[in-house]
Copies of this chain bind each other. A is one copy, B any other.
Amino acid sequence: MPLPRQVFVAVVGAGGVGKCFLTQLASVAQSLSQSPSAPTYLSLIYLSTSKKALLHADYKSQQLSSWEAELKSSTTAPLPPQQLADYLDVADSYPLFLNKGISIVTPNKKAFSGSYKLWEDIFNAASNGSGANGLGAGGYVFHESSVGAGLPVIVTLKDLIRTGDEIRKIEGVFSGTMSFLFNSFQPTTGGGGKFSAEVKKAKDLGYTEPDPRDDLNGLDVARKLTILARIAGLKVESPTSFPVQSLIPKELESASSGDEFLSRLPEFDDQMDQLKADAEKEDKVVRFVGSIDVQKQDVKVGLEKFDKSHPIAALKGSDNIIAFYTKRYGDNPLIIQGAGAGGDVTAMGVTGDLLRVLRLIR
């Protein structure tokens, strides 16, 4: 009978996703500690926001649920402050962590869509980075929820590649905000409001960043495309090294605030209505999509027209859809669809990755 084991977990960041992850972690830790054959005890030894930190040498799994109150009353600063305050510093030190045998699970998009050099450093250091069987020297790295939140996007793409399929094209709606905006702006059943009104509605519902331009510039989608393209074997240098269509009118790029932007956006509704009318003439709808043509090494993000019967056109609410066109699947792609944002489903991707690491390091 195997011995019980102890796994130490450090959580850097306790925002929307981090909170949901900690809840899921508490429940997973509970069930792992009760495994009759070989209990695993998860110890949260480090938890930090940008301002505060908890350090516990013996923080047992069953107490995970009280972290929020404890963190609130903590007077400890994050340690080392420099690294933890600066988001990018954390990503930059992934190779260092991995080389020391520390595994990383994260929804961090920026880390994997930053410089290609960082990407290479991370996967050269990781045990699951090089070769079909993933035999490296260091810790494991998983980042499922960096694309599509809890949807099994990265695991599926990697399985296709590892088993020898040939990826031809990846296409989809990768932003919950963009999905909601265009499903409301031009529903397949007709109707829909003015574009500026839909942006305002999305903001009021909490579907956009505080400044909606952070969604409308297309960069979030470009980051996800960068990650998938790199997994598919393309050496994409950065999220700005391929065409990305911004939906921010040039004239409003310099607006001093999100509110000013929103108040002036109606001036440009005619342009958007024109796009909608042009699509309607062909019995199509406009959607904001990302696509990767692997053979042509062509990555792009922007507006495209789709037949109303196309799965991308028929999307509902703020769902994401990702279609993998491969040699084996032929003309009818393998499709994954569902909510691609939100704390709980994003945290699910992280928790799933953590369980993968636990299986691998035992």
A residues with a Cβ closer than 8 A to B are 1-2, 24, 27-28, 31-32, 34-38, 40, 128, 130-137, 150-152, 155-156, 159-160, 162-165, 188-189, 309, 311, 314, 316-317, 319, 324, 328-330, 332-339, 342, 344-345, 348, 351-352, 355, 358-360, 362
Q: Nearest Cβ distance between residue A216 and chain B, in whole angstroms? A: 23
New A-B contacts (10) at CB < 8 Å, excluding given A31-B133, A37-B131, A334-B337: A28-B164, A32-B133, A35-B131, A40-B133, A132-B355, A135-B362, A151-B334, A160-B348, A314-B314, A332-B338
Inter-subunit contact A162/B352 (CB<8 Å): yes
A133 and B314 contact, CB distance less than 8 A: no
Residue of B nearest to A324 (CB): B338
Residues of chain B lying within 8 A (CB to CB) of residue A334 = 150-151, 336-339
CB pair B164 A27 closer than 8 Å: yes
A345-B317 in contact given A132-B31, A133-B32, A335-B338 (Cβ < 8 Å): no
User: Shortest distance in angstroms between A292's beta carbon and chain B's nearest beta carbon?
Assistant: 18
Return the chain B residue nearest A360 by Cβ: B359
Number of copies: 2
Q: Is the CB of A332 within 8 A of B328?
A: no
Selected from B189, B335, B339, the residue in CB contact (under 8 A) with A336 is B335
Q: Which of B319, B352, B360 is in CB contact (< 8 Å) with A360? A: B360
B35 near A163 with CB under 8 A, answer no
**A330 contacts which chain B residues (CB < 8 A)?**
339
The answer on a CB contact under 8 Å between A317 and B332 is: yes
Most chain B CB within 10 A, of A32, A34, A133, A342, is at: A133
Set of chain B residues within 8 Å of A159, measured between Cβ atoms: 150, 152, 348, 352, 355
Given contacts A31-B132, A35-B131, contact A332 B352 (CB under 8 A): no
Main secondary structure of the interface of A (DSSP, over half): loop
- Closest CB in chain B relative to A326 CB, distance in Å: 9
By a CB distance below 8 angstroms, the chain B residues around A136 are 37
Given known pairs A136-B37, A335-B338, the reply for A328 and B345 (CB within 8 Å) is yes
Chain B residue at minimal CB-CB distance from A316? B332
Say yes or no: A348 contacts B328, CB within 8 Å: yes
Which residue of B37, B130, B332 is within 8 Å of A35 (Cβ)? B130
Give Cα A225 to B136, complex, Å: 39
Q: What are 23 A-B residue pairs whose CB atoms fall within 8 Å in the complex?
A: A2-B135, A24-B163, A28-B132, A32-B133, A34-B131, A35-B133, A36-B130, A36-B131, A37-B131, A40-B133, A40-B135, A133-B355, A134-B359, A152-B155, A162-B351, A163-B348, A188-B309, A309-B314, A311-B311, A319-B332, A328-B344, A336-B337, A359-B360
Of A135, A314, A348, most buried by chain B (CB within 10 Å of CB) is A135
Q: How many Å lie between the Cα of A230 and that of B142 in the bound state?
A: 28
Cα(A347)–Cα(B280), bound, Å = 43
Complex: A128 Cα to B156 Cα, angstroms: 20
Cβ of A34: which chain B residues have Cβ within 8 Å of it? 131
The chain B residue sitting closest to A140, CB to CB, is B359
CB distance from A333 to the nearest CB of B (A): 6
A132 and B328 contacting across the interface, CB-CB below 8 Å: no
Residue pair A31, B155 in contact (C-beta under 8 Å): no
CB distance from A314 to the nearest CB of B (A): 6
Which residue of chain B lies nearest to A31 when distances are taken between CB atoms in the complex? B132
Known: A163-B355, A164-B27, A335-B337. A35 touches B360 (CB 8 A): no
Residue of A128, A319, A332 contacting most chain B CB atoms (<10 Å): A332
